[in-house]
Homo-oligomer: A and B are copies of this chain.
Amino acid sequence: MPQPDSDRVLIFDTTLRDGEQSPGISLNTAEKLEIAQQLARLGVDVIEAGFPITSPGDFEAVQAIAREVTEPAPPIVTGLARTQVADIDAAHQAVRDAERPRIHTFISTSDIHIRHQLQTTREDVVGQARAAVAQAKGYVDDVEFSPMDATRADVEFTAEVVQTAIDEGATTINIPDTVGYAMPQEFTAFLERLYELVPALRGVVLSVHCHDDLGLAVANSFAGLLVGARQVECAVNGIGERAGNASLEEIVMLLHTRRPDVGLHTGINTRELARTSRLVSRLTGYVVQPNKAVVGRNAFAHESGIHQDGVLKERSTYEIMDATTIGLDANSIVLGKHSGRHALRQALEELGFEVSGQALNTAFKRFKEIADKKKQVTAMDLEALVTDELREESAGYTLEWFDVEASSRRPPHATVAVRRPDGSMVEGSFTGDGPVDAIFRAINASTGLDARLREFRVDAVTGGQDALGEVSVVLELEGQSAAGQGVATDILEAAGRAYVRALSNGVRRAELAAAAAAREGREGEELAKAP
């Protein structure tokens, strides 16, 4: 237990970096900011906001988060960087305006990565790690270093690299189980051996970063904490590469629930967990399965007669956590069609959204449209509406109106009007296999874009016959996959909104890809000049 407050665990959230690397997720800067602001309200210690070198969009989002996320307390904001000079420069530029900036650099220490991916030598890896940490340390005090794929690496060699990073001033050493291969007892042994080989590790923060490929991400992270790690890298809803990262909410509630026995604690305001989970699910389009621990729809539901009987007699017979602890009772705000602008504003403020001026007018207009169709507008509906509005940030296509005739007895037919980014209006008609297909084809026809639908999903935001429907689509346009979501009481309207947003994202992605290709071409030429 190396740290001064030896039982305080730092929560390092990588939803916006490793999580955003999941297929089909494409968050714009406004959406990333909204998530970061919610993470700050949740009380995470570190926000890994992105990987600045990878694209101008990533850079811009990390910079915006570094500058703007300060309430209720400024979190540490970090950006990821390979050991290259340009990577660390970009990460520094992106995070420098944060009150508490951190640079996080990494290089693989497993022979399988060194040989096949980096195509270099162990000696070179040590040199790169040394140079990168030194460079980062020249910019900021707070430097994190990760030996990638450590759990499949030689522990002695990893220790050598870690020692080098500490010598150069790294203040956090993070051990990633990059491919989700470790078993808890094995991970424990690896970390214990690392402590033996690098006594200086007791003078810095040891961190763990575990993937869930074998279903052990939380268990491995926890095993790390039990041997002395005091930072956990995790993501909301456990999203991330492949099977994702350790779930933030599971780690937090494990430590919270078992605190009397384990003695560790975090700075997380657990009552924000449910809302954070919903926000991330909505903006990423990644559904949370009903049987997901802590934040799944059924995590607190008791179905069998025996369990229901027990809970009615005494809650603790079948409940180890209280639903209110994670904020599941917070859905108490209810507005109706007679609620005014002031009530809406107040309700939004209670939800943590500061809305005024034109944004409030827009929100109020959408609210009234919904309230006309729904008896009660709940906090979850408001969340959905506000996050839906966030999506309008970037200029793109909008669906102005549509007409559909559908029947089981003849093919459905749709007519749509779409406003293009330049403000002009186009119309199109098409017949499809179903009404949604007809609308999508009509949108393609009107815009002249040849997008192909890859995924389609609808969820009800709240229960009841008049529930808001939320549609998520993923489409493919010019080799880029892009996602879009739409919210409405009418599923066809929600589908149309989602589709034009995905189109807008797809067009933007295709442009960025073209720009990146052009840039790489230039860099290639420049590199060719260097020895």
Q: Which residues of A are in contact with B by a Cβ distance under 8 Å?
A: 21-24, 51, 54, 82, 112-113, 116-117, 119, 149, 178-181, 183-186, 212-219, 222-223, 226, 237-244, 247, 250-251, 253-254, 257-258, 261-262, 286-294, 296, 298-307, 309-310, 313-314, 316-321, 373-374, 399, 401-409, 412, 433-437, 440-441, 452-460, 463-467, 469, 488-493, 496
Query: Across the interface, do A258 and B214 meet the contact criterion of CB distance under 8 Å?
Result: yes
B437 touches A116 (CB 8 A): no
B434 touches A406 (CB 8 A): no
**Which of B21, B219, B253 touches A184 (beta carbons < 8 Å)?**
B219
Q: Could you say which residues of chain B place their CB within 8 Å of the CB of A301?
A: 22-23, 242
A337 to chain B, nearest CB (A): 13
The answer, among B186, B402, B403, B435, for a CB contact under 8 Å with A492, is B435
CA–CA, A298 and B406, complex, Å: 34
Q: Is the CB of B458 within 8 A of A299?
A: no
Residue of B112, B244, B287, B409 touching A316 (CB-CB under 8 A): B112
Contact A434-B22, Cβ < 8 Å, known A458-B456, A464-B452: no
- Bound together, the chains give a CA A405 to CA B437 distance in angstroms of 15
- CB-CB nearest in chain B for A374: B433
Residues of B contacting A21 with CB < 8 Å? 303-304, 307
- B residues near A112, Cβ cutoff 8 Å: 314, 316-317
**Docked CA distance A316–B457 (Å):** 33
Copies of the chain in the assembly: 2
CB pair A466–B289 under 8 Å, yes or no, is no
Expressed in whole angstroms, the Cα–Cα distance for A479 and B407 within the complex equals: 32
Contacts of A292 in B (CB 8 A): 243, 289
Interface contact A452-B465, CB-CB below 8 Å: yes
For residue A218, which residue of chain B has the nearest CB?
A: B215
User: Can you list 23 pairs linking A and B with CB atoms under 8 Å apart?
Assistant: A23-B298, A213-B294, A213-B320, A214-B254, A214-B257, A214-B294, A237-B289, A242-B300, A242-B302, A243-B291, A243-B293, A243-B296, A287-B287, A403-B408, A403-B409, A434-B488, A435-B490, A436-B469, A453-B460, A453-B464, A455-B460, A457-B458, A458-B491
| Contact indicator B458/A454 (Cβ below 8 Å) | no
**Which residue from chain B places its CB closest to the CB of A452 in the assembled complex?**
B465
Q: Are B453 and A437 in contact (CB under 8 A)?
A: no
